[in-house]
Structure 1
Amino acid sequence: MPVQRQQAERDRVERLGNRGNEPYRVRSATDPRNRADREAAARQLQQRQASGQGTGDFGDNRRDDRRNDQGRLGRDAQERRIREERERADRFRQQHQRDSRNQWEDRYARQLREQRRNSQYRYQQQYYDRLRQQQLRFVSSNYNYYNDPYYYTPASYRYSYGGRSYQTNRYGRDLMNQAVNYGYQEGLRAGRADRDDGWRSDYRNSYAYEDASYGYNGYYLDQDQYNYYFRQGFQRGYEDSYRNDYRYGRRGNDGNYAILAGVLAAIVALQVIH
Structure 2
Amino acid sequence: MHTVFYVSDGTAITAEVFGHAVLSQFPLPFEQITMPFVGDVDKALAVKARIDTCFAQSGKQPLVFHTIVDAQLRNIITSSEAKCYDFLNTFVAPIEQQLGVKADPRVHRSHGIDNKKHYDTRIDAVNYALENDDGVTTKAYDEADIILVGVSRCGKTPTSLYLALQFGIRVANYPFIDQDMEQMSLPNSLKANRHKLFGLTIDPHRLQEIRQRRMADSQYSAADQCRYELNQVERLFRMEAIPFIDTTYHSVEEISVKILERTGIRRRIY
- TMscore range, shorter length: under 0.3
Q: Please state which structure has a larger fraction of its residues in helix.
A: 1
Q: Which has more radius of gyration?
A: 1
Q: Please state which structure has a larger fraction of its residues in strand.
A: 2
Higher relative contact order, structure no. (Cα contacts within 8 Å, ≥ 6 residues apart): 1
TM-score by length of 2: 0.23
